[in-house]
Amino acid sequence: MGAPAAARYMGISLRTLYMILDTGDLPAYKLGRVIRMKTVDVDAYLERCRVQPGSLSQLYPPGEDGDPPRKR
Q: Give the angle subtended at the CA of 18 by the CAs of 43 and 49, to the nearest 5°.
A: 35
Percent of the chain at pLDDT > 70 equals 85
The most distant pair of C-alpha atoms in the chain lies apart, rounded to whole Å, by 59
Beta bridge partners, 67, equal: none
Q: Which of the two residues, 60 and 22, has the higher pLDDT score?
A: 22
Strands (E), the chain: 29-31, 34-36
pLDDT of 24 reads: 96
Per-residue buried b or exposed e for 35-54, using 16+ beta carbons within 10 Å of the residue's own CB: bebeeeebeebeeeeeeeee
pLDDT of 9 reads: 97
pLDDT tens profile 13-47:
999 999 999 999 999 999 999 999 999 999 999 99
